[in-house]
Amino acid sequence: MSDILSALGDILDERKGASADSSYVASLYAKGLNKILEKVGEEATETILAAKDAEHSGDNQDVIYETADLWFHSLVALAHLGERPEAVINELARRFNMSGLEEKASRSDK
């Protein structure tokens, strides 16, 4: 799973050298951090609305789509600040390891 995030991180880094009219990500970088954060906020709102609809309809397709938009724009914000997706994966891994769940999972394998 994190292979895709790493590959996307490479593309987000490459886009820093691209002209604003050649790519969506390059156009966001050119507009600056406030515009990128505005997109993160919009996608968060759309994710919330889609989750509420999904609870009633039982169809999760839209909330998955909106969550992908939210993750993507969050990664653009991090890339703009010079961070990689792996930094978030590592933080989640650190929390997982701290919780002791990894140890319990490996014990139950034996």
Report the C-alpha gap between 68 and 39 in whole angstroms: 13
Is residue 80 near ligand PRT by the rule CB under 6 A?
no
Mark 22-61 with x for binding to ligand PRT (rule: CB under 6 A) and - for no binding: -xxxx------------x----------------------
Is residue 11 near ligand PRT by the rule CB under 6 A?
yes
The secondary element (H helix, E strand) that includes residue 6 is: helix 2-14
Backbone angles phi, psi at 55, to 5 degrees: -60, -35
- Min separation Cβ 102 and ligand PRT, Å: 30
Give residue 66's region: left, alpha or beta (phi > 0; psi -120 to 50).
Answer: alpha
Is residue 70 near ligand PRT by the rule CB under 6 A?
no
The nearer residue to ligand PRT, 8 or 78, going by C-beta atoms, is: 8
Report the C-alpha gap between 87 and 96 in whole angstroms: 14
Binding site for ligand PRT (CB under 6 A): 8, 11, 15, 23-26, 39, 69, 72
